[in-house]
Amino acid sequence: MHQAHPALRQPVTAADRVLQEIQRAIVEGDIAAGSKISEPELARRFDLSRAPLREALARLERCHLIERIPNAGARVVTLSTTGLLALYQLRENLEGLACKLAAEHMTDAEITEVRQLLDQHLSSQRVREGESYYQEAGDLDFHYRVILGSKNSYLINILCDELYYLVRMYRVQLGMNGPRVSRAFDEHKAIINAIANRDGELADLLMRRHIAASRRNIELQLQQMGT
C-alpha cells in the first residue's frame, strides 16, 4: 500500500501529537508571535517529557514557525511585511511550477475530483456569504490538490509541509478574509480548466497571477494597517 503523505498522516507518536497541538497554537496565535518558547513550561503544559517535545520543536523549526539558537532557546517567528512578501514570492513560483507539472501528471479522475470539490465550495460559499474560514479551508484544499497533482515529492514536501503552516499563520493572524472570495473561485476554475486542457504554460501563468493577486490584496491591507 502506498504510504500516505506525512502532512495528512495521523499522529502515532507523542511527538507527533504535541507537534500538531503546538502547530495549531502558533498558527492561530494562541502562542503569541515573537514570544519565547520555554521547554520546561511546554512540557508541563502538554504533560510529557522534554524528549518528544524537542523532537516537535525540531519539526517546528523545519516549517519556519520557530527559530532556534543553540544554547539560547527558541522563539516563535515574528510576522513581518518583508517576510510575507518573500514567502509569497516563493509561493508564486513554486505553485506555478506545481500547476505546470499537474497539467502533465494529473489523471483525469483526479481532475474530476477537483472540479467536484470546486462545485462543493461554490454551493457552500453561497450559503455562508463571505465567511472567511471556510473560504480559506477550501482555498487551501484546492491548492493542496494541485500541488499533490504535480507528483514531484520534493515540491510537495516544500509546499505542503514546510511553507503552508506559515502561510496559514499570516492569513489567520493578519485576518485575510477580504473581498476576493468570489473572484478566487473563478480563478480556481480557470486554473483547473487549463490543467484539464493539458495546457501547463497557461496553468502556470494563471496560478502565478492568482497568488500575485492574493499578495497585492495582503499588501494593501498591511498598508492600511500601517497608516
Partner DNA sequence: TAGGCGCATATTGTCGACAATCTACCTTTT
Partner DNA sequence: AAAAGGTAGATTGTCGACAATATGCGCCTA
* SS3 sequence of 81-145: HHHHHHHHHHHHHHHHHHHHHHHHHCCHHHHHHHHHHHHHHHHHHHHCCCCHHHHHHHHHHHHHH
Query: C-beta of 71: minimal distance to its own copies in Å?
Result: 7
Site for DNA in 26-55 (CB under 7 A): 37-41, 48-52, 54-55
Interface with DNA: number of residues (CB under 7 A):
21
**CB atoms closer than 10 angstroms to residue 56:** 25
Catalog residues that contact its own copies under the rule CB under 8 A: 3, 12-13, 16, 51, 54-55, 58-59, 62, 64, 69-71, 83, 86-87, 89-90, 93-94, 97, 101, 152-155, 157-158, 162-163
74 binds, among its own copies, DNA, none (CB under 5 to 8 A by kind): DNA
Site for DNA in 70-89 (CB under 7 A): 70-74
Query: C-beta of 59: minimal distance to its own copies in Å?
Result: 7
- Strands across the sheet containing 73-76: 36-37, 73-76, 66-69
Q: How many whole angstroms separate alpha carbon 214 and alpha carbon 192?
A: 18
Chain contacts with DNA (rule: CB under 7 A)? 13-15, 37-41, 48-52, 54-55, 68, 70-74
